[in-house]
Amino acid sequence: MNPEIEFREGLDELAATYHRVLQLLGEDPTRDGLLKTPMRVAKAMQTLTRGYTQDAHKVLTDALFAEEYDQMVIVKDIDFYSMCEHHLLPFFGKAHVAYIPNGYITGLSKIARVVDIYSHRLQVQERLTQQIKDCIEDTLHPMGVMVVVEAQHMCMQMRGVEKQNSVTTTSAFSGAFNQAKTRQEFMNLLGK
């Protein structure tokens, strides 16, 4: 899906809702600067939530290869942007993903696509981290998976406590990563 061209059903209704939101905020949606804002915001929201229409498991299985490699595979520093489901404000950062193959590998870019699909939904960072891990685990059946997500949250920086330099880190792991030594190897390779 090219998010700049293809939009989902309900776009006009979503734009009408944003028109009303502008009114409720005390703005005049008919003034020059805001005339096209409701549709722009509706399109932006559909783009930011396009992950609902994508299948992360299929992305991995479309590039599944038999391979006897049984050491850690790491894709680190995967940039992502998501929307906090509590305030509809962005959070963004980097995801680091590792898995130990068990007879099958997937295309490296597919790991980044999994992050992209789950981050393009209304989210909390904890669930995002778990969904990435679960998808890789359930699809590739590796000997282990570990995901670390580091993010800045606009809901903490723009409102509420207004802490500008805070970073939230979450992790999820399974299988071989249940061993502290394996987790530490992953963290060392990340340079953490």
Per annotation, catalytic residue among 19, 96, 120, 153: 153
* Cβ within 8 Å of residue 82, ≥6 positions away: 90, 91, 92, 119, 120, 121, 123, 125, 128, 151
Q: Is-catalytic flag, 87?
A: yes
Per annotation, catalytic residue among 86, 126, 179, 184: 86
Q: Is-catalytic flag, 23?
A: no
Neighbour order of strands in the sheet with 90-100: 122-123, 73-84, 90-100, 144-153, 168-175
Q: Is-catalytic flag, 157?
A: no
User: Residue 10 is which amino acid?
Assistant: G
Q: Is-catalytic flag, 164?
A: no
Give the integer Cα–Cα distance in Å for 93 and 190. Answer: 15
Per annotation, catalytic residue among 67, 85, 179, 184: 85
* Cβ within 8 Å of residue 76, ≥6 positions away: 94, 96, 97, 189, 190
Per annotation, catalytic residue among 87, 141, 152, 185: 87
Helix (H) / strand (E) element for 48: namely helix 37-48
Q: Is-catalytic flag, 153?
A: yes
Per annotation, catalytic residue among 27, 54, 152, 155: 155
Per annotation, catalytic residue among 84, 120, 135, 150: 84
Per annotation, catalytic residue among 19, 46, 96, 125: 125
Helix (H) / strand (E) element for 173: namely strand 168-175
Q: Which residues are catalytically annotated?
A: 84-87, 125, 153, 155
